[in-house]
Amino acid sequence: MGLDDAIRTALDRLSGDKDRLQVGLADVFGRVADSSALKTFALMRRHRPIVSAGSTTIVTRNEDVKEVLGDPARFTVDLYGPKMVAITGPFILGVDDTPLYRHDHAAMDRAVLREDLPMIGDRMYELARALVAERRDDDGEIDVVSQLADPAVDRTIGEYFGTPGPDRATHLRWARNVFQELFINVGNLAPVRERALADAARWRPHLDRQIAVRKAQLKAGEDVPDDVLTRLLRLQSEDEPNFHDIAIRHNILGNITGWIPTISNAFARVVEELLGRDDELERAQQAARAGDRELVGRYAFEASRFRPQNFALLRYVPQDTTIAAGSDRETTVKAGSTVFAATLSAMHDERAIEAPGEFRVDRPWSDYMLFGHGLHTCYGEHIVRAQLPALATALLEGPRLQRAQGDPGKLRFAGPYPSGLTVRFGA
């Protein structure tokens, strides 16, 4: 039996149990994402590009992934919405094209400014460089998750948003647990949900206090930092009275949840991918040594195309609809179904991407679907395009990198997240 038949059979067998099927799918693809997902998707694209069984459908071709992500009326984010409300309140990734979505997105855009990006990248580079130097001088090794990405990202968020966590470990845990419940817990496993709700119940009052303190400082005319929190609160007294304190909290909590777990995850996978590619690693290191952060970024995002932070995005189907209508793969999906739009597969679809199996650093940005597609394209995309290259440059600009000896030199996981990958600086 071919691999696609095996998938089909597994889907058929599990199709009566929506929760088990979804957990199974997420689990299977999560585990194999680093090894055989590319091969599996290649087979699916060729032989069975849309697999539908019971209430779950997977689309694998670039065109179909774009159809799903590009039509928020037929394919909604209703799977995330209620979970977000339980965590804090409505947030843009939990509502589709509505006045609330447009209002909150636009309000955030007045505080998270494009002109901040060079500063965000430079600050990340400065922090990451100091962390790398310290570890290199100490024992010649660094764990790229716990000793580099996590502390640098956490610090930049605290400074830029103006809402640091009570301490780093707690802040990282809150964001990771909440992210897992919102985006990974497709089967709604109770322990995952309860852990996230408990952490959110601590996080909300923490943010409420920070908002109240800053508001009082502004009212008293004190000197305050020009960070996102200050800017959002200033909007209230200007022309955004509806962006009340609780809405500010939803948006800050939502964005930090999108920020902490993703960059270290993506970065660990980028390093893992480069460590497996001698020539590309060498060239990326040369670019870093030459201070060419833009080129280092191209290596990082191309590495991510092979080993992305997530392989698919989920959508809910509110009414019966047809995907790829008029084609020989046309598939009708029933109301109440879940669709996995396999972005990893779309980025390797030879029908849309030139030489998808080759590692190229001159691809157009439109080849990448690392940040989704359509209405819900990542809000932090530009921040990541400033921070990830900076982080990578700080790591790569020194001597030749290699894996640390033994298990620490392997990419390790704690639940769904990379927990460590230790690299050694050569002579």
Among 30, 318, 372, 398, which residue sits at the site for ligand HEM (rule: CB under 6 A)? 372
3-state secondary structure (DSSP) of residue 50: strand
Tell whether residue 117 is a contact of ligand HEM (CB under 6 A): no
Residues 127/407, Cβ–Cβ less than 8 Å = no
- How far apart are CB 122 and ligand HEM at their closest, in Å? 16
State the DSSP code for 116: G
Tell whether residue 301 is a contact of ligand HEM (CB under 6 A): no
Which of 416, 417, 310 has its CA nearest to residue 370?
310
What would the DSSP string read from start to end of 296-343?
HHHHHHHHHHHS-S-S-EEEE-SS-EEESTTSTT-EEE-TT-EEEE-H
- Residue closer to ligand HEM, measured from CB, 305 or 376: 376
Which amino acid would we find at residue 291?
G
Interactions with ligand HEM, residue window 308-327 (CB under 6 A):
309, 313
Among 107, 144, 370, 396, which residue sits at the site for ligand HEM (rule: CB under 6 A)? 370
Tell whether residue 266 is a contact of ligand HEM (CB under 6 A): yes
Interactions with ligand HEM, residue window 384-423 (CB under 6 A):
384
Tell whether residue 30 is a contact of ligand HEM (CB under 6 A): no
With a CB cutoff of 8 Å and minimum separation 6, the contacts of 332 are 320, 321, 322, 323
Among 22, 88, 262, 331, which residue sits at the site for ligand HEM (rule: CB under 6 A)? 262
Distance in angstroms (rounded) separating the CA atoms of residues 382 and 378 = 9
Tell whether residue 93 is a contact of ligand HEM (CB under 6 A): yes
Which of the stretches 113-121, 174-182, 258-266, 390-398 binds ligand HEM when contact is defined by CB under 6 A? 258-266
- How far apart are CB 298 and ligand HEM at their closest, in Å? 15
Among 44, 120, 184, 263, which residue sits at the site for ligand HEM (rule: CB under 6 A)? 263
Tell whether residue 296 is a contact of ligand HEM (CB under 6 A): no
Q: Strand 422-425 to strand 141-143: parallel, antiparallel, or no bridges (unpaired)? A: antiparallel
Tell whether residue 92 is a contact of ligand HEM (CB under 6 A): yes
Tell whether residue 180 is a contact of ligand HEM (CB under 6 A): no
Which of the stretches 136-144, 369-377, 395-403, 405-413 binds ligand HEM when contact is defined by CB under 6 A? 369-377
Among 72, 81, 162, 254, which residue sits at the site for ligand HEM (rule: CB under 6 A)? 254
Tell whether residue 187 is a contact of ligand HEM (CB under 6 A): no
Locate the DSSP E strands across 56-96.
Answer: 56-59
Range 273-278 contact pairs with CB under 8 angstroms and sequence separation of 24 or more: 273/303, 273/304, 273/306, 273/307, 274/299, 274/303, 274/401, 275/401, 275/402, 275/403, 275/423, 277/303, 277/359
Distance in angstroms (rounded) separating the CA atoms of residues 32 and 149 = 24
Residue 89 has which token pair? 């309140």
Please give the residue whose beta carbon sits closest to ligand HEM in the complex.
380
Tell whether residue 371 is a contact of ligand HEM (CB under 6 A): yes
Name the phi and psi angles at 21, rounded to 5: -60, -45
Which of 79, 267, 108, 261 has its CA nearest to residue 174?
261
- Residue closer to ligand HEM, measured from CB, 101 or 425: 101
Which parts of this chain interact with ligand HEM (CB under 6 A)? 92-93, 254-255, 258-259, 262-263, 266, 309, 313, 370-372, 376, 378-380, 383-384
